[in-house]
Structure formats: C-alpha cells, structure tokens
C-alpha cells in the first residue's frame, strides 16, 4: 500500500440554494473543471436548516444536467439529523437522489446532545440504505462514540466523511476528532468520503488537510470512495 491520496470528485458542496452559500451550480462546475475535478456533488442543506430550500428543491434536482463544464454533477442533499434514525427529508425523496449526506447541525430540531444519544441516532441512520455518508462526524458539538460509529460504518458500508472545512473554519475543535476518526477508519477498514464543504466556488476541491490526516492515520487509498469518478459511481450504484 502506498499512501498516495487523490480525490477526483468533491462530495460535499453548497450552492446559493443553501441560503448561506455564494455560488451558482454553473460557477461551481466551472471552478471544478479548472481544478481538474471530474465530478462534484450538489449537497445543499435540507429544509430544517434556517434559510435552506424547500423540499421542492430536491424534488426538482432531475432538472440539473448530468454534466456541466465537462464535470459530472451528482444530485443530492446534506440532510439534517432531527431524531434517532430520522432526517429532514422523506425516504421517498432520498431514494430519488444520487447521494445523501446526514449530519448534525444546530438549530435544526435535534434534541438530545449527549454522547450516547448522538451515537444511537447515527448508528440507526447507518442502517438506512438511502444514507450514503455521515458528514463531519468529528463535530465536537455532537460528541460520538467514535469507535462504535467506525465499526458500524464498516459493517453497513456507510462512508464517514473527513471534511476539509472542519480543519480550517467550521466546527472549531473538530481537528483532533477527525484525526481519531481517520485512525479508526484505517483500523476497521470502512469507506471514507472526502468533502470540501465548499460554500463558494473557489473552495471546491480543497482537500489538503484531510490528505494529511489520512496519511498520518495510514488509511488505505482504496478506502476513499471518491478517489476516482468510477469509484464514486460504483459506491453509489450509479452509471455514467
């Protein structure tokens, strides 16, 4: 195994539709193309997030072309965990999407915030085949039993995200948790997703901090689901 990491697809990107992001899908695709990415996932926030789009936004994702600026566009959502095993979009809608992220966010209706309850909520969600990725699980505002979650992720084939923004500007205090998650992913062999969490086009495809964490942890590059466009589509059960 050589620890040479790459990501041809950014699996966590926000457009203007999220209400607190600043670029259109066309601008994001053009920037992704200029950076040599082969794919991006449009994962705007679910409707429980203040100022996020209505569920109709997700009903109409089929209107987005599969390619913009030569870049494959995956149509999805960053859903909000609102209760154990529940997110803020219906399973009917989730099943129509190319990919679904699920994560904890403040002011989105989730009640308990203790480690045991949070862990239970996440582990139950990982049993839902419509949930592909648990996003920014290192968020210190929602502590988890990281070993239990990493075991469950490997058992269910649910990817745990390493989020570049968590090392820089978002969810301050996440970095050490993210490094621990990387080590646990290396130990248990579960799938890993890399995301920029870009809220403006110029941040798309930035993975430098997560590459460092992966290398330090000794994660097998083949665990990275978005290492190539082909690997991404295979993980999601999609065709090109």
pLDDT digits (tens, 9 = 90+) for 153-168: 999 999 999 989 888 7
Going by pLDDT thresholds of 50, 70 and 90, the confidence category of residue 90 is: very high
DSSP letter, residue 141: T
Kindly report, residue by residue over 41-81, the tens digit of the pLDDT.
999 999 999 999 999 999 999 999 999 999 999 999 999 99
pLDDT at 3: 58
Paired tokens of 210: 């997560």
DSSP letter, residue 84: T
Asked if residues 54 and 97 have their Cβ atoms less than 8 Å apart, the reply is: no
Give the residue, 3 or 134, on which the prediction is more confident.
Answer: 134
pLDDT at 24: 98
pLDDT at 112: 66
Cα–Cα distance between 137 and 140 in angstroms, integer? 8
φ/ψ of residue 21, rounded to 5: -125, 170
């Amino acid at each position: 195994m050589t620890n040479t990491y790459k990501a041809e697809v950014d699996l966590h990107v926000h457009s203007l539709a999220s209400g607190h992001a600043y670029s259109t899908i066309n601008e994001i695709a053009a920037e992704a193309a200029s950076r040599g990415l082969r794919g991006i996932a449009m994962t705007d926030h679910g409707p429980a997030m203040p100022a996020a789009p209505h569920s109709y936004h997700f009903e109409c994702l089929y209107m987005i072309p599969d390619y913009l600026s030569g870049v494959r566009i995956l149509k999805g959502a960053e859903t909000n965990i609102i209760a154990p095993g529940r997110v803020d979009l219906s399973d009917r809608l989730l099943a129509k999407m190319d990919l679904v992220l699920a994560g904890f966010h403040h002011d989105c209706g989730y009640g308990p915030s203790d480690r045991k309850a949070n862990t239970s909520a996440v582990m139950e969600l990982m049993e839902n085949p419509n949930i592909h990725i648990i996003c920014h699980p290192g968020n210190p505002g929602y502590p988890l039993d990281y070993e239990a979650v990493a075991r469950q992720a490997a058992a269910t084939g649910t990817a745990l995200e390493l989020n570049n923004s968590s090392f820089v500007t978002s969810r301050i205090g996440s970095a050490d948790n993210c490094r621990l998650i990387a080590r646990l992913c290396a130990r248990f062999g579960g799938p890993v997703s890399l995301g920029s969490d870009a809220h403006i086009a110029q941040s798309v495809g930035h993975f430098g901090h997560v590459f460092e964490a992966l290398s330090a942890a000794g994660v097998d590059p083949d665990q990275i689901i978005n290492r190539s466009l082909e690997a991404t589509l295979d993980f999601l059960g999609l065709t090109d």
